[in-house]
Structure 1
Amino acid sequence: MVEREVLLKVAEAFQQDVGYGRARLDTETRIELDLSIGDIVEIRGGKTTAATVWRAHPNDEGKKIIRIDN
């Protein structure tokens, strides 16, 4: 398995995503990391967690943010 890293700004999850372990990533980031919708990713910061990749909301495209519940 190839390990790839990017630096993203964390934004609050949408209410409908809370508790489901979703990570919403924009298209550019998914391509850069060679990820597909449904892939499991490790997220490292103050804590380490795993989440399932979902599409970003159209308004989040190109902003280099990841939406996860904290």
Structure 2
Amino acid sequence: MAPTLLFITGVMAGLIAGFILTFPTSLLAILKGLAMTIQQTEAAKNIGQIQAQAVELHLGLPARATQLWF
């Protein structure tokens, strides 16, 4: 059997069994992509918290300003 055909047969067997044989560099690329996705999710969560606090501060400023001036 030719090496390419053997490789393709091995990949298909892995897909059927529920796993994929891969190279270490491919695994690193997948893990890096996963890490970036997690970082983006955390950043979006932090942005939402900052926005909520900014709105709360903005709405509370007029009341605080009148307390300071009068």
Q: TM-score, normalised by structure 2?
A: 0.25
Q: Relative contact order: is structure 1 or structure 2 higher (C-alpha 8 Å, sep ≥ 6)?
A: 1
- Greater share of residues in helix: 2
Higher strand share: 1
Q: TM-score, normalised by structure 1?
A: 0.25
